[in-house]
Amino acid sequence: MDTIITRDVSIPRLGFGTFRMPGGGCQPVVESALALGYRHLDTAAMYENEDTVGAAIAASNVARGKLFVTTKVSVMKVARAQSACATSTCQCCGWRLTCRSPPCRSNTIRSSTSP
């Protein structure tokens, strides 16, 4: 899959979004997306599916270093963004994760982790 490199991080250009896929129904869909070759997944705490996205990742045979998972912090949690990032990392099984608030000069926070 084609990638873009920004700040020395290689990100797949095509991502699979999970908006409006809450609950257990999300897991088999994400598993299928991974089987089809998607390596960039997009989720958010407000989608209420980070745990099932994490379960789909854990069930896949995709190497950890090959995945890029993006989640978002709601505007209401910007003041606690570091805490929200830690929560998202845990719910997504500790996979590579970018956590940020909506675009705004004064409150954009980025954090990447990989176990």
115 residues of the chain, pLDDT tens digit each? 798 888 888 889 999 999 999 878 999 999 999 999 999 999 887 888 888 998 999 999 898 888 888 877 666 655 555 555 555 554 555 554 455 545 544 444 444 444 4
64-95, pLDDT tens digit by residue? 888 888 877 666 655 555 555 555 554 555 55
Structural domains in the chain?
3-113 (3.20.20.100)
Per annotation, catalytic residue among 18, 40, 41, 47: 47
**Amino acid 80: pLDDT:** 58
Q: Is 38 a catalytic residue?
A: no
Neighbouring residues of 79: CB distance < 8 A, sequence distance ≥ 6: none
Report if pTM > 0.85.
no
pLDDT for the residue numbered 59: 93
Containing 52, the helix (H) or strand (E) segment is helix 50-59
